[in-house]
Structure 1
Amino acid sequence: MASISTRTKKDGSKSYMVRWRDKKTKTAQGLTVATLTEAETLKRLLDANGQSFEIAQHAILTNEKRPPTVGEVIQEHIDLLVRPSSGTVKTYQTMLDLHIRPVVGHVPVDKLDYRVIAHWVKSMMAKGKAPKTIHNIHGLISASMNTAEMLGYISRNPCRGVQLPNIEKAEDEAMFLTHAEYRLIMEGMGERYKAFTDFLVMTGTRFGEATALTVADVDLLSKPPTARINKAWKRDGQNQFYVGPTKTGAGKRTIGLNPALVELLIPLVASRPGKDLVFTTPTGGRIVHKLYWADYWVPAVRTAQAMGLTKSPRIHDLRHTHASWLIQDGVPLFTISRRLGHASTKTTEQVYGHLMPEALQVSADATERSVTAFQRL
């Protein structure tokens, strides 16, 4: 059987070597191709035709006369990604294999149109897939069709203008804690992670960002003291964690630290190497979300509920709580958006806009003036 080996070039890109034994000459042969799709196609044809390169080559040339399928184009798009993380490749491959190939993967790419994509969207909704999931997979299809457009397979990306399910979250999906409610939770929080939990609610950082914070990222001597949020924990293709970029480009940001938080951070960063994590487990390792949630967050919430808390907040609701406290204090929406690392103020407004009493009052006052004006007519 033919085999495939991967070669990594100096620039980080990859090529693929297909090796087989010629059935006539009985000698080892090899051919380097640019993409994994080409390599797998050649291997499949060689194995199906007794390792005859002539027959395989003829089949490839014949196949090239027909337009590629949607599945083939998306696979080629994945293979052409420039230096993607293994986690990204695995995610895209899973999307393709589970949610695209079985439904529209066989469709010739030049036959992919609004009707076909609308059918795919409806099939995903019928399976009960979340709107966010449908948006993410549609994003992969659309990006692949952009690649298909650049490669000359199609003249226009058919994903443009396709209606997708609404992903705007209902207001009650984001839970906000009052200062008193947060204090109830902290009364049941284990001493080891009190400072870490306070950091989450006082900065609005995501869990993966806060747990990736290093001593070098914190500057307590600047005016004002700051923390640089420029990385987060990610999961690779083997489900192993590594430090990578923030969720979005806007996620890289510098946030100001309030005096109370500075006091909490001083003993955590003093006389420690810059590469050390600020917040760690007792053994100095990464704080694992699942363990923190099960061993500290849930017990603290249950203790608070026994003392009168009526809500069941998630860890991520500390981020929402931070934003709500800023809004209540009159901080502008743009400033909040930058502090949270949102890609745009639209995201901030969709989640927190209803909490802005001043804006609500301005709208109500304007409506009242209009009503008063036409009632006088």
Structure 2
Amino acid sequence: MVARIETRIRKDGKTKTYRVSWRLGGSRTGAWQSETFERKAPAVTFKLAVEACDHQWPDNWIRGSGWAPANEPTPPAKQDPLLFAEYAQRFVAALSGIEERTRHDYQRDLKNHILPAFGVLDLRDETENFDRAIVSAWVNTLHLGIPNPDHPRQWLRRPLAPKTIQNLHGLLYAILRNAVETVPLIRTSNPAARTRLPRLDDGEGDEEMVFLTEQEFLLLRAGAKPDVRDMLGVAFTQVSGVKLGTRGQYASRASIGSALLGS
């Protein structure tokens, strides 16, 4: 038997109520059940719920009171901030396939140029606090320097050469790329990707060309999977004519498309 709605008048002779009644289980022998409502719309909703439950009391219904409050989903646990300085230092310390002299250079570059700008930032923060605009502003500061306002001919921070800036950006890019690729991932995007860098020579080269210095290439190779490292070395020699390990010639003799660097 289907549930039914009966309209009743209270003792005042004016106020209507709506009683939903049905036999438990829908059988002719089931015990009569009922619930009363002051408005018709919720009575209709309840009747449909009863019928959908095979004429049983609907789940989450409190007799005489109505629907039980929905359980609020448990919010995900807030992760503690992961400082860029901590992650970057671990990354450099764990790099394989590089000489200790190169590792020392990376640690020096971190300390002098990268950590002052990014060290206290939360690596998980993908808001405007740590985005591409922040990285671009850092590159511009390296390129233009910071004049001393009290002494016009002196610098608080001297401008760096384009080659040095590219080395520093390459290190920053590799650290952030690792944060994107690690499992579980720390970030969903690399804010150092596709950064416009100062040209090594403003008079030549295409805007889309990216030049690798020795440090950048070694960093790229060290971050690659083992079976890819040898391929990178062979490809580099074929493209550049430079034997891997020849110091100081990558920037002037070799170029690799921006798709390889990803920046």
Q: Which has the higher helix share?
A: 1
Relative contact order, higher structure (CA 8 A, sep 6+) = 1
Q: Bigger radius of gyration, 1 or 2?
A: 2
**So what's the TM-score if we normalise by structure 1?**
0.30
